[in-house]
Structure 1
C-alpha cells in the first residue's frame, strides 16, 4: 500500500494517490492531471475512484478531466450549493475497497456544506483508521475557514466544531492528510509542515484545544478572510466541470513592438530582482510563485495576457499556474532581453528601491508609506502612520489614492510591495518606490513599530 502526495506550489494545494494491490484512488486532483496517471502506471494500479472532499474555491478541480481519461467515477459529498454535474453523491458510512485499503466516507461540513473526510484503514493490519483525509476541515495547525456563508456564520462554525469532534472520535490516532498546507487562502494559521496526527493536533492545534463549542464559534466568526473575485468562477467551474488544460499553450516569442498594448496585459513573471532592474514600463510584476495567489485579484480571467519571461520554459510554467485558476488566455510571451530591446530604441523602465534609513528620510520629506500586507499582518505589527491597502484590493481601492502623491510600497519582505508598485505604475502613479526588506528590514534596523 502507498500514499503519494502531490503538492501544487502557489496554491499550497495537496492531493493524494492511494494505491493497493493493483488498484488506486485519487483525492482532490488539480486541473493538470497527468501526474496522477503517471503515478498509477508506475505502481501498476488501475484508477477506480476519484473523490472530492469539498467544493474548491481557489483552484479548478481536475476530477472530471481525470475521469474522462481513465473511466473512473468521481464522488462528491452531499449538500453542495448546486449539483456537481460530473460526480456521484456519497454519504456517511459509504465504503470503497482499494485493494487491501478501505476508504470510509464521513460527513464533515463546516468549511463548506458538502465537505467530507475519508478514513483509511489497512484491512490486513489495522483495527481502526490509520489515516484521515480531511480536505479543508482540518489542517496542520489550523482549521478551515467558515466564512463562505455570510448569513449563517454561527451555524456553519458550529458545524465545523462538530465535524472536528467527529474526526477526533473516529480517528484519534490517525495520520492527518489535509487538502492544503501553509500559504493557502483557506486558513491563516497553518504550520509550515505537512505531517501530523490527529492526536498531535488535538494537543497542539490552537483551535482543537478549545473544548467549548461556543468559544470555538465566537473565534471563527471573528476571523477575517479575503474572498478573491475569481472564487465565483472556480465555484461555477467546479460544479459543471472545467475543460482539460491543453498544454503546451505558449506560441513562438513575440516582440514588444508586435503587441497591441491596448488589447493585452503584460505580466512579467521573472523574479522580483530582475523586474526591478529592467522591465517594460507597461508591465505588471507577478513572479511565477505568486500567480495563483494574486492573479485572481489583479486580473480578469477574460483578459488577454502576454507573459514576459526569461525563456519559453518559464513562460510555459507560468501559463500552467494561470490555468490552475482558470486563466487560459496566455498563449503568447515575450523574451525578457531588455539590453537588446533598449538597443533598438525600446523604452525600458526600472523601479527605485529604498532601505530603512532612506524610508525614514523620505517620510520626513512627505512620502507616504503604503502597506499592502493582509489586514491581520498589519494589525499585529506596523510602522507608524503607514496607510494600509491589501495588495489584492488595489484594483478596487486604488481610486482612493492620490496619483500626484509619492508612495513607498511595503509588505513583509518586499515581494508583494514590488507587485503593488508595478500595478500602481501601470495605472498612472509616477512616484513609487519599493521598500526592499520592508518590515523585516525595519525591525533589523532597530526602528520602532506599533
Structure 2
C-alpha cells in the first residue's frame, strides 16, 4: 500500500532532524515544519488541507496568517471552517480581511463564526479558541469575563477597521438569510459602529422580529440620541418583546418625545414586563410631572417597579423626596432594590451609601447592577473623590471594577489615582488600571 504523501513528507522532516551529525536549531526546525504545512494546505486531499489549517492555528504564530488566510475560499467547507478557526486563534491584524471574506461564505455556520471572529479580534476571549469544544456563546463564559452579551461593548478607545464595518453593514442589509443579518446587527452594536446608525434605524422597520430586537440593542450600545425619536413607533408594536426593548431604547437615548407614549404603555399594557420597561424608560429622563408616578410605584409589589421608581426619584434629585427614599431603604429587604435606593441616596448627596454599591462590586451576582450605578454617579466630582480611597480595597474584584468605573466617568485627576494600581500585586488589576488610563487619555485627559 502506498503511504499518503503528507506522511512521507513528515517522515522526511523527522529523518533530517535525527540523522547523526545533522544539527538543527529550533528556528530551523520550525521553518521546516511550516514548509511542510504550506505544502499540505495546498494538497489535493481536503482532509490534508483541513489538518494543515488546524495545525497552523495550533502553532499560534500570527506570522502564518497570510498562508492560512489564502485558503479562506477553499472549495471544501470543512477546510474553510478550520481556516476561520485558525484565523481567530492567531488573532493578528492580518486576520481581519480574510475573516471579512468568510462573513460572505455560502455556509451559514462559517458566516456566524467569522462574525464572532471579528468581534473576538476587538474583544479577545469573545470566542473560545480551543479547537475542542469551540463555541460562540458569551453567556456560557464565566461572569468575570463577560457578564452579559446585552451589555458587552468594545473599549471606548477602539478604532474599527473600515472593512469590518462595511462587511458587517452589508451583511445586516443583504445577507442571504435572516440569522446572519441578526448577528451582523448585534456585532455592529458590540463594536459601537457609529457610522451605521442610519442602517440600524432602517433595520427596525424589518418584518423580522429578531433583526428589530438586535438593531434596538445595537442602538442602545452606540448611544447616539439622534436615533431615539425614530424608534418611538415601536412602542406600538404587536409583540411585547419589541415593546420592551423599544421602551428601554428610547429611555437610554432619552427621547423625551416618547414620554406620553411611555405613560400610556405603563397605564394600559397588561404585560408586567412591558410596564416595568416603560417605567424604567421614564426613569432615565424624569420630569417633575412624572415624579408622582415614581412615588406611586416606590412601594409596588413588583421588584422591577420599585427599582425603576427609586432610580427615577434619585435622578430627579428633589430633596423633598429624600425622606421617602430613606424610609423605603429602611424597610426594603430585596438586595436589588436596596442598591437602587442606595443610588438614589447618593444622588441626594448621601455619599456614605456608596459603600453599599462598592461592596457589591466584589459580588459576581451583584456587580452587574452596582457598577452601572457607580458609573452614572461618578460623573459628579464629589462622588469620584469619595471613590478614590476605595481603589485600595483589599478585594481585587472591587479594584478591577472601580477601574472600569473611572474609565467610563473619570477625568484627568483620576489618572494619577489609577497609576498607583499599575504596580498592583494582582496582574488583572494592573491591566485594568492601564486600560482605564489609556481610555481616559484617548479622550484628551
Relative to the length of structure 2, the TM-score reads 0.28
Q: Which has the larger radius of gyration?
A: 2
Could you say which structure has the higher helix fraction?
A: 2
